[in-house]
Structure 1
Amino acid sequence: MSAQNAPVVIKRKKVVAGGGHHGGAWKVAYADFVTAMMAFFMLMWLLNATTEQQRKGLADYFAPTIAISRTSGGGDKVLAGDSLSSSERLSASGVDGASSTALPPLAEDLPRPPGEGAALAEVAALRDIEEVLLGRGGESLVAREALRHVVTRLTEEGLVIEIFARAGAPIFAPGETAPLPVTTQLLGLVAQAAALVENPVAVAAHLAARPVVLADNPVWRLSSGRADAAREGLVAAGLAPARMRRVTGLGDRDPSAEGPAAPRSDRLEITLLRPH
């Protein structure tokens, strides 16, 4: 075969240039990272900018077993009818604890013992008062600074509204039974919220323990006087006197979890009692 008729072989060499396009997967991963960091910093900001009650309200909002709307319905009174929040829990402690007793879900197709529906409606009504007072479902009746003196918890006995002293922010002047202006304001707002139901009311006053044991310890007279002053403040704010079930001065015998001498132990507990 001559050179003129020889086949022409063409070799094509694939050249890979460095620094070319490597795909867009890294952009998606980076975007996810930036989004996660933004969510993290928003969470840190919320934790720093909200009160304990507001944080609990946010947690309740995202809890899958709690209805967004807690409006009671199905009756001509607050304690009548069924509530959307019938799967609510009865908390056995305030913000310092998490133990609770779960209530059965309120379903129309499930048999219920007589009286259970009424009990669930009572719990729902007390929860409504708690939300109105603390503003979990909207605007609070209590100013932001005053709200720092208030915590609520729903117990087997009823809804406990606790008004407590903080470091540098007492609710009574030392050794006095007359409530300070912030306490008077809070008592008026508690009476306003309590007007939504007809439950009987119990008032108890607690004192922080004194560092020195005295032969004539004034905590009993002082706590009794403060409890009675709280009763008078509630009645003056519109609470019917006939609803008052008991007024108790407990001295320093039931301190808070922060310690017997802590300012937190100086407190009032106003309980909207569940009827038995």
Structure 2
Amino acid sequence: MWLLNATTEKQRTGLAEYFNPTLVRTPGASGDGVEAGMRSAVVQDLPDSEKAAEFDDISRRIQNQLSGTGAESMQMTNLLRHVVTRMTDEGLVIELSDLTEQPLFMDDTAQPQPALEELARIIARVLGQVRNQIAIAGHVRAYPEMLVTSPVWALSDARAHAVRNLLERGRLDPQRIQRVTGYADRKNRSANPMDPVNNRIELILLR
């Protein structure tokens, strides 16, 4: 059984508190809370160059929180092994990937494992401090061609929507989700299309 299953409610609270946002306090932001500051961080009237710099700064801070640097427990370290972040022209990509011994979904279904449920709560908390819209993309490994009906399209779509549901349960504003897409096995990470490493969900914080 994966380590998170053995954690107590207090330990799970500790995981969330590790990510309790200290991301940005924008100078001049109204309100006393960090959330108020973060929600003022994306200012529509800024010039494009300043908007880009602001987005890059926020993204770096989010990446730092999701890197696991300074994690205080083995549970946290194990959990964040599923997370890889990178910057693209579209925005900040937060990739949630299967590990060989720790899949994010149960077998070949869209039923989340406890690890994914915990990750979604943490990411919803972190992304809840900015205003940018979010895109969700589901990717799955290929299946043998001998199958009468390949599950890749339905499965990638169902998994993307499962993560959307988890984020919304974590109190992420549903109006911020711009699109949910299933890419089947069309954008593999591995040269072997059936490699489990191809199973992943991408959350994109859009510019």
Q: Structure 1 residue 116 and structure 2 residue 49: aligned? A: yes
1:175: Cα distance to partner? 2.1
1:130: Cα distance to partner? 1.3
With over 3 angstroms needed to count, the CA separation of the structure-2 counterparts of 1:240 and 1:80, relative to structure 1, is: closer
Alignment of 1:96-111 (within 5 A): none
1:75: Cα distance to partner? 4.4
* Corresponding residue of 1:127: 60
* Corresponding residue of 2:19: none
Distance 2:154 2:105 in 1: 14
- What TM-score, normalized to structure 1? 0.58
* Corresponding residue of 1:183: 116
Q: How big is each residue's C-alpha offset from its partner over 1:61-109, in whole Å with a ceiling of 9 and x where there is no partner?
A: xxxxxxxxx966434243258xxxxxxxxxxxxxxxxxxxxxxxxxxxx
Tell me, yes or no, if the aligned pair for 1:74 and 1:80 is still in contact at 8 Å: no
Letter in 1 for 2:27: G
Distance 1:196 1:140 in 2: 22
SS at match of 2:95: strand
Tell me, yes or no, if the aligned pair for 1:172 and 1:178 is still in contact at 8 Å: yes
With over 3 angstroms needed to count, the CA separation of the structure-2 counterparts of 1:140 and 1:261, relative to structure 1, is: farther
* Corresponding residue of 2:27: 74
Tell me, yes or no, if the aligned pair for 2:124 and 2:167 is still in contact at 8 Å: yes
Distance 1:222 1:179 in 2: 12
1:119: Cα distance to partner? 1.3
Q: How big is each residue's C-alpha offset from its partner over 1:30-61, in whole Å with a ceiling of 9 and x where there is no partner?
A: xxxxxxxxxxxxxxxxxxxxxxxxxxxxxxxx
Which has the larger Rg? 1
With over 3 angstroms needed to count, the CA separation of the structure-2 counterparts of 1:118 and 1:204, relative to structure 1, is: same
Distance 1:139 1:247 in 2: 31
* Corresponding residue of 1:95: none
Distance 1:140 1:159 in 2: 25
Tell me, yes or no, if the aligned pair for 1:167 and 1:263 is still in contact at 8 Å: yes
CA RMSD of aligned residues (A): 2.3
Distance 2:155 2:121 in 1: 22
Distance 1:261 1:162 in 2: 19
Q: Structure 1 residue 206 and structure 2 residue 139: aligned? A: yes
1:173: Cα distance to partner? 1.2
Higher RCO, Cα 8 Å, sep 6+: 2
1:152: Cα distance to partner? 0.6
Percent identity between the aligned chains?
A: 36
* Corresponding residue of 1:228: 161
Tell me, yes or no, if the aligned pair for 1:165 and 1:266 is still in contact at 8 Å: yes
- What TM-score, normalized to structure 2? 0.76
Distance 1:72 1:257 in 2: 40
Distance 1:234 1:190 in 2: 8
SS at match of 1:172: coil
With over 3 angstroms needed to count, the CA separation of the structure-2 counterparts of 1:171 and 1:190, relative to structure 1, is: same
Distance 2:179 2:117 in 1: 20
Tell me, yes or no, if the aligned pair for 2:68 and 2:76 is still in contact at 8 Å: no
Letter in 2 for 1:180: Q
SS at match of 2:193: coil
Distance 1:72 1:206 in 2: 35
With over 3 angstroms needed to count, the CA separation of the structure-2 counterparts of 1:217 and 1:211, relative to structure 1, is: closer
Structure with more of its chain in helix, by fraction:
2
Structure 1: tracts of 5 or more residues without a match? 1-69, 82-112
Provide the aligned length of Structure 1 versus Structure 2.
Answer: 173
* Corresponding residue of 2:14: none
* Corresponding residue of 1:92: none
- Segment of structure 1 superposing worse, 70-79 or 242-251: 70-79
